[in-house]
Amino acid sequence: MKTLLIDYGSGNLHSAAKALEAAGFNSHGHTLLVSSNPLDALDADALVLPGQGHFRQVMEAFMASGFETVVRAHIAANRAFLGICVGMQILYDSSEESDLSGLGLLSGHLKRFPKGLPVPQMQWNKLEQIGLSPLLTGLDANAFAYFVHSYYVPMGLTSNGAVSEYGLPFVSVVSSGNVHATQFHPEKSQLVGLKMLENFRVWAEHHQSTL
């Protein structure tokens, strides 16, 4: 299997690549490639979209990268996809952070944490599983992940994944068909993050075998 970590000028690529390698993405018959060339994504079995920073900045960089068409085709072909942090946020319709639309691959509008809460949320936070998500397989009820964000996906916008709470509950993991995403950084979440990346690899391998 081939997994491509998309380099579009946004996100901590080095840390993400190291975490994916530690999760077995360069072993077990799996090849990991980091590339800024959309042509390299055409034959990828799995795509990983990182992201950090401002919604508009990330969205503009992604749109300028030439990856939009291949990402949409990849997801439409039912191939495995993982979004991380703002790489999750731009999958949605829109965000209060910008008047620029997101990709609309997931339905919903992101909101800013209410006044009075220090932002960004920059801390470890608990994951509470809702529904079913292959990313959460084997995690215990006290799993914590590391978050850095000021905008959130409201409750009710997923039925499978995980929720966390920072003044109010919000979606922290989403699984919708072949699309999976985390609001937090798995590469900064130590054993929990590594386990979730391993889970994505195992799920992607199995999913690919069924296509």
What sign results for the dihedral spanned by CA atoms 83, 185, 20, 86?
positive
Amino acid code (one letter) for 178: N
In this predicted structure, the answer to whether residue 37 has a pLDDT above a threshold of 80 is yes
Pairwise CA distance, residues 92 & 142, whole Å: 28
Residue corresponding to tokens 């130590």? 190
Q: Which of 30, 74, 85, 207 is catalytic?
A: 85
Q: pLDDT at position 185, please?
A: 94
pTM of the model: 0.96
The answer to whether residue 207 is catalytic is no
Please state, in angstroms and rounded to a whole number, the distance separating the CA atoms of residues 82 and 46: 8
Q: In 3-state terms, what secondary structure has residue 191?
A: helix
CA 37 to chain centre: 20
pLDDT at position 158: 81
Task: Find the catalytic residue in 30, 180, 185, 207.
Answer: 185
106: CB partners within 8 A, 6+ apart: 91, 92, 93, 157, 174, 176, 179, 181
Is 187 a catalytic site residue?
yes
pLDDT higher than 80, residue 84: yes
Q: What percent of the chain is modeled with pLDDT above 70?
A: 100
pLDDT, the chain, mean: 95
Which pLDDT value is given to residue 28? 77
Structural domains in the chain plus CATH codes: 2-210 (3.40.50.880)
Question: What average pLDDT does range 124-128 have in this prediction?
Answer: 97
pLDDT at 156: 84
Tell me if residue 85 is catalytic: yes
Q: Which of 149, 180, 187, 207 is catalytic?
A: 187
Which residue has tokens 């916008």? 157
Q: Confidence class of residue 159 from pLDDT cuts 50, 70 and 90?
A: confident
